[in-house]
């Protein structure tokens, strides 16, 4: 089933992820829904523990046991993939969905040269000879900005710096020309100048290859620089989603506004940055109503009793009684 211009490449529908424990079942993702179109970059942002990495792991079929997809659907190119057997999902991962992780050493085998790993990945997913695969591997290393690629292809991962290893991982993710790339904190372990290079590289490669990207990060600067749309997560749910410019400059949800207020502005003088008081709730202690209500400076009685759903709030969609129109709404 081919993707048309008006059809999303990836659809996540009411995704629910649970972790069974001896003391009961913990709900880690609750009713998460979004879609990504071909060629689009969707950013997913939030504090540690919000559910960003669990969402990406669910999509690429690498959810750590005992975690499980307990509800909802993940649809890729018109086909449901969240219930596929391991071998079928493994064939999709790499060939059609590429993955980039925070620590490149988790993606690279230290015992093999990067060339061998690239060649094996290419030959696993493409019907090409070893010579053709090696030539493509060299081109990928060149495309990702690794100098002297013809020589460095025979080096081992430990012979590369952190930034160069991350470029190798990006080359691996692109080896089979996937249509979706899931990048989970791909620049967190890198210094700022290398971060900028990696982000520029991702944008260029996605533009040239036409791939869709899901970029998971906690860095709003990276989101602003890279993404078309952004989904803000809190306590396992999406609390706001919309065009990146609107979410950053006119946030509708108080949590999003708090994230934006914690970013230093270059054109303003402030003695101290805004901060969000308190901490993200534990999975076994998520409060009734809106999960953000104990930390929200605008919370009302309804916020503590009833849980809001995502609804239109100006240019974005937000899960907030104060931001959405209707009875009790603030707009």
Among candidates 172, 52, 51, 193, which has minimal Cα distance to 106? 172
For all residues of the chain together, what is the average pLDDT?
89
Model pLDDT, residue 96: 94
SS3 content of the chain, % helix, strand, coil (to 5): 35, 25, 40
Model pLDDT, residue 267: 62
Give the tens place of pLDDT for each residue, 131-178. 999 999 999 999 888 999 999 999 999 999 988 998 999 899 888 889
Tell me if residue 103 falls in helix, strand or coil. Answer: coil
Q: What average pLDDT score do residues 314-319 get? A: 95
Do the beta carbons of residue 99 and residue 55 sit within 8 Å?
A: no
Q: What average pLDDT score do residues 88-105 get? A: 89
Question: What DSSP string runs through 122-162?
Answer: HHHHS---HHHHHHHHHHHHHHTT-TTHHHHTTS-GGGS-H
- Distance, in Å, from the CA atom of 260 to the CA atom of 248, rounded to the nearest integer, reads 6
Q: Peptide bond preceding 66: is omega within 30 degrees of 0, i.e. cis?
A: yes
Q: Which residues pair with 43 in a beta bridge?
A: 215, 230
Q: Identify which of 11-15, 138-142, 256-260, 323-327 has the greatest average pLDDT.
A: 11-15
pLDDT at 4 over 50: no
pLDDT at 3 over 80: no
Do the beta carbons of residue 70 and residue 19 sit within 8 Å?
A: no
Q: How many helices (H) and strands (E) does the chain have?
A: 11, 12
| Token pair belonging to 15 | 């995704």
Question: What DSSP string runs through 223-234?
Answer: HHHH-SEEEEEE
Q: Which of 66-70, 74-78, 258-262, 275-279 has the lowest mean pLDDT?
A: 258-262
The C-alpha R_g of the chain, in whole angstroms, comes to 21
- Sign of the alpha-carbon torsion through 121, 124, 206, 41: negative
State the pairing for strand pair 229-234/41-45. Answer: parallel
- Distance, in Å, from the CA atom of 294 to the CA atom of 251, rounded to the nearest integer, reads 19
Do the beta carbons of residue 205 and residue 145 sit within 8 Å?
A: no
- Distance, in Å, from the CA atom of 192 to the CA atom of 189, rounded to the nearest integer, reads 9
What are the phi and psi torsion angles at 229 (to 5°)?
-130, 165
Model pLDDT, residue 272: 65
| Token pair belonging to 64 | 């750590």
- Sign of the alpha-carbon torsion through 59, 64, 65, 66: negative
- Distance, in Å, from the CA atom of 14 to the CA atom of 253, rounded to the nearest integer, reads 20
Q: What average pLDDT score do residues 22-40 get? A: 94
CA distances from 59 to 34, 50, 66, 218, 232 (A): 12, 16, 16, 19, 17
């Amino acid at each position: 089933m081919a993707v048309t211009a008006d059809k999303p490449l990836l659809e996540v529908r009411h995704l629910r992820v649970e972790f069974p424990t001896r003391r009961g079942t913990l709900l880690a993702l609750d009713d998460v829904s979004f879609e990504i179109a071909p060629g689009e970059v969707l950013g997913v942002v939030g504090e540690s523990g919000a559910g960003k990495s669990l969402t990406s792991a669910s999509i690429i079929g690498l959810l750590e046991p005992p975690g499980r997809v307990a509800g909802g659907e993940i649809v890729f190119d018109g086909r449901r993939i969240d219930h596929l057997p391991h071998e079928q999902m493994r064939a999709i991962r790499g060939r059609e969905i590429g993955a980039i992780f925070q620590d490149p050493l988790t993606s690279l085998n230290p015992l093999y040269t990067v060339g061998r790993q690239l060649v094996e990945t290419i030959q696993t997913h493409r019907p090409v000879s070893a010579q053709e695969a090696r030539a493509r591997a060299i081109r990928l290393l060149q495309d990702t900005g690794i100098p002297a690629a013809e020589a460095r292809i025979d080096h081992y991962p430990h012979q590369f710096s952190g930034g160069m290893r991350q470029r190798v991982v990006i080359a691996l993710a692109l080896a089979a020309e996937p249509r979706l790339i899931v990048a989970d904190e791909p620049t967190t372990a890198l210094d700022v100048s290398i971060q900028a290079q990696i982000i520029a590289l991702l944008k260029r490669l996605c533009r040239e290859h036409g791939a869709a990207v899901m970029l998971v990060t906690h860095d709003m600067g990276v989101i602003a620089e890279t993404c078309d749309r952004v989904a803000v997560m809190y306590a396992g749910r999406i609390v706001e989603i919309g065009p990146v410019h609107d979410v950053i400059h006119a946030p509708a949800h108080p949590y999003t506004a708090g994230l934006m207020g914690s970013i230093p502005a270059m054109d303003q003088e402030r003695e101290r940055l805004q901060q969000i008081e308190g901490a993200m709730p534990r999975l076994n202690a998520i409060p009734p109503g809106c999960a953000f209500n104990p930390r929200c400076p605008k919370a009302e009685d309804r916020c503590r009793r009833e849980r809001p759903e995502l609804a239109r709030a100006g240019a974005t969609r937000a899960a907030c009684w104060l931001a959405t129109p209707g009875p009790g709404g603030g707009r």
